[in-house]
């Protein structure tokens, strides 16, 4: 994966060939194809690992809050700045959103289980749309942060999102 990240910092994902990737990684093509079907498969595998890392981080908390979830998202992005910048430069950030959406049911259930005072009876349909709405908002903030060079810290970004959630910035 490191080879793909390094190559993505030099050229777009679409310009990278499997031959280049295996040469840079010092792998044989046979070894590559034993583990992956394409360079997109490598990317998908890495994204799944990132999302799994996020899920593992938030699962360690007894109580989840929007603040904790936001911070963990921005921290994960910050720790993977080079990769995410390469994805952005390749116009491939949508891959991350696609993988994120696949994991939403797991994250959704974890949040229901760990949010204090969550109503025992709730409208599942409305909750699913609320989660999609919130994900879209956070996704666009993350995308903007990445495209702006990720100058703010994860803490600063968390504060911005928390202010948005409280509608403090909506009236500016």
How do the pLDDT tens digits run along the chain, 172 residues long?
889 989 998 999 999 999 999 999 999 999 999 999 999 999 999 999 999 999 999 999 998 888 999 999 999 999 999 999 999 998 899 999 999 888 888 887 887 788 777 666 678 788 778 778 888 898 999 999 999 999 999 999 999 999 988 876 555 4
Torsion of CA 13, 19, 23, 26, to 10 degrees: 100
pLDDT of residue 119: 67
Q: What are the residue boundaries of the structural domains of the chain, listed by start?
A: 44-165
pLDDT of residue 1: 80
Spatial separation of the C-alpha atoms in residues 93 and 87, rounded to whole Å: 5
8 A C-beta contact, residue 150 and residue 87: no
The residue among 9, 85, 84, 3 whose CA lies nearest residue 36 is 3
pLDDT of residue 73: 95
pLDDT of residue 131: 79
Spatial separation of the C-alpha atoms in residues 66 and 130, rounded to whole Å: 13
């Amino acid at each position: 994966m490191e080879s793909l990240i390094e190559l993505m910092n030099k050229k777009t994902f679409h310009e990278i060939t499997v031959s280049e990737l295996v040469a840079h990684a010092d792998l044989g093509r046979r070894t590559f194809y034993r583990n992956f079907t394409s360079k997109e498969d490598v990317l998908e595998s890495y994204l799944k690992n990132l999302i799994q890392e996020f899920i593992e981080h938030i699962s360690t908390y007894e109580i989840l809050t929007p603040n904790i979830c936001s911070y963990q998202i921005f921290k994960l992005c910050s720790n993977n700045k080079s990769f995410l910048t390469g994805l952005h430069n390749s116009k491939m950030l949508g891959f991350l959103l696609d993988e994120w959406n696949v994991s939403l049911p797991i994250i959704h259930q974890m949040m229901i289980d760990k949010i204090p005072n969550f109503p025992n009876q709730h409208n599942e349909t409305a909750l699913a749309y609320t989660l999609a709405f919130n994900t879209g908002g956070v996704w666009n903030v993350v995308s903007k942060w990445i495209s702006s060079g990720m100058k703010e810290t994860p803490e600063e970004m968390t504060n911005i999102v928390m202010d948005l959630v409280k509608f403090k910035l909506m009236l500016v």
